[in-house]
Amino acid sequence: MTLQWLKLVNFRSWADRRFAFSPKQTIVVGSNATGKTNILEAIWFLAWLRSFRAKKLNQLISWRQSQAQLQAGVKTQLGEQQLGISLSRQNSGLVKKTYLINGQLQPRRTFLKQFQAVIFRPEDIRLVAGSPGRRRQYFDQLLAGLDWQYARAWRRYQRALRQRNKLLEQWRWRKQAGPLDYWDQILATAGRLLQEKRRQLAEFIDSYWQLKAPAWLREFQITYQSQPISLEALRRRCQRDLERGHTGLGPQRDDFLFGHRQFPRQEGNLAYWASRGQQRLAILGLKLAMAAYLRRETGWQPLILLDDAFSELDADFRRKLQQMVWRGQLVWTATQEPSRPFWQRKIKTGGGI
């Protein structure tokens, strides 16, 4: 799969601009606030139909404009296709989304399967050092975007969890719980699927690092920590949940831990002892593993997006990063060109290509 070109109209800072990409490596160079990351955001939106930084879709449409358009030419094993997304402001304040493939309207589920991308951003270091909720969200979004069964189970689980917690909070002051079997059954069924899919993904990443990644990545490991959910387990802890007013068992309490193989899994958490450079390398390794996972699940080579990947890396880490030769297509952003060119095409956001 190759991104050949991208056209943005009223998307973020780009009023009307077309970009061409190399099938191998393209670097996007420019000073800060010149729209480099906006290009990557548009590519990411075409792949996952969501932004990696905007909280509301309105933020993607240029100021004082009513509509934004994203168009892209993609070459796959099935031939060349033109993808298009239209974002239109509505009087209600919401944004209407329209998806096109070769000029024909398509449902969201069909469009979502046309293009895949993986992105590395400086903020991703928080996946290692940040909260468990951030890690759960990252992996949930990935799995839900690929597996409709996971997406449906996640929605059912979240609805049931909200209802169960609401009842627990209401009954908490009476110190006596009412019937919870209906919600417990949904939580147990959907929760088991979520935990199993998460565990399989963590095992894939860990296996990839150990067996297929560059040697300097094999020192890292990832562990999915969970307490298996079941109807019996929920019933056993019902009184404890009543006292606390919320459900204390299930996928919403689980975590993914990044560690180092020379330490026991419980003691090697990179969040506590690793340098920022090591944490960044672990995240880069995660992105490579995610690309391999996408390739296995879809049969397509995803596009790799690297946003300001050289910042905060010393010379040794930069060398390791440049040695990670990806077989597919890469798009980089940088404020300055690296001393040794390794790209086939350059896009300059400060003026011209």
Query: What percent of the chain has pLDDT above 90?
Result: 69
| Residue 310, amino acid | F
Residue 121 lies in a domain: no
- Judge if 202 and 151 occupy the same domain: yes
In this prediction, residues 43-55 reach a mean pLDDT of 94
In this prediction, residues 173-177 reach a mean pLDDT of 69
Residue 321 lies in a domain: yes
Around Cβ 95, how many Cβ atoms within 10 Å? 18
- Judge if 109 and 17 occupy the same domain: yes
Poorest-pLDDT segment among 64-73, 134-143, 194-203, 325-334: 325-334
Poorest-pLDDT segment among 231-240, 256-265, 306-315: 306-315
Alpha-carbon dihedral angle through residues 118, 121, 123, 129, given to the nearest 10 degrees: 60
Q: Is pLDDT of 295 > 70?
A: yes
Residue 78 lies in a domain: yes
- Judge if 268 and 324 occupy the same domain: no
Q: How far apart are the C-alpha atoms of 204 and 36, rounded to whole Å?
A: 32
Please, what is the average pLDDT of the chain? 90
Please report the pLDDT score of residue 326 as a whole number.
Answer: 60
When divided into structural domains, the chain yields a total of 2
Residues 6+ apart with CB under 8 A from 102: 81, 82
- Judge if 95 and 227 occupy the same domain: no
pLDDT digits (tens, 9 = 90+) for 186-226: 999 999 999 999 999 999 999 999 998 888 788 899 999 99
Q: The domain spanning residue 17 has which CATH number?
A: 3.40.50.300
Please report the pLDDT score of residue 323 as a whole number.
Answer: 62
Q: Is pLDDT of 8 > 80?
A: yes
Residue 22 lies in a domain: yes
Poorest-pLDDT segment among 46-55, 117-126, 167-176: 167-176
Q: How far apart are the C-alpha atoms of 174 and 325, rounded to whole Å?
A: 62
Tokens of 106: 């398509």
- Judge if 135 and 218 occupy the same domain: yes
Long-range contacts of 177-185 (CB under 8 A, 24+ apart): 177/238, 177/239, 177/242, 180/234, 180/238, 184/231, 184/234, 184/235, 185/231
Q: The domain spanning residue 179 has which CATH number?
A: 1.20.1050.90
Please report the pLDDT score of residue 212 as a whole number.
Answer: 86
Domain boundary, last residue among 230, 256, 273: 273
**Whole-model pTM over 0.85:** yes
- Judge if 236 and 337 occupy the same domain: no
- Judge if 104 and 39 occupy the same domain: yes
Q: Is pLDDT of 59 > 70?
A: yes
Poorest-pLDDT segment among 102-106, 288-292, 310-314, 348-352: 310-314
Residue 282 lies in a domain: no
pLDDT tier at 98 (50, 70, 90 boundaries)?
very high
pLDDT digits (tens, 9 = 90+) for 317-351: 666 666 665 667 999 898 888 777 778 899 999 75
Please report the pLDDT score of residue 76 as a whole number.
Answer: 83
Q: Which residue has the higher pLDDT, 172 or 136?
A: 136
For residue 41, the enclosing domain spans: 2-116+301-348
Residue 278 lies in a domain: no
pLDDT digits (tens, 9 = 90+) for 244-293: 999 999 999 999 999 988 776 666 789 888 888 788 889 989 998 999 99
Residue 207 lies in a domain: yes
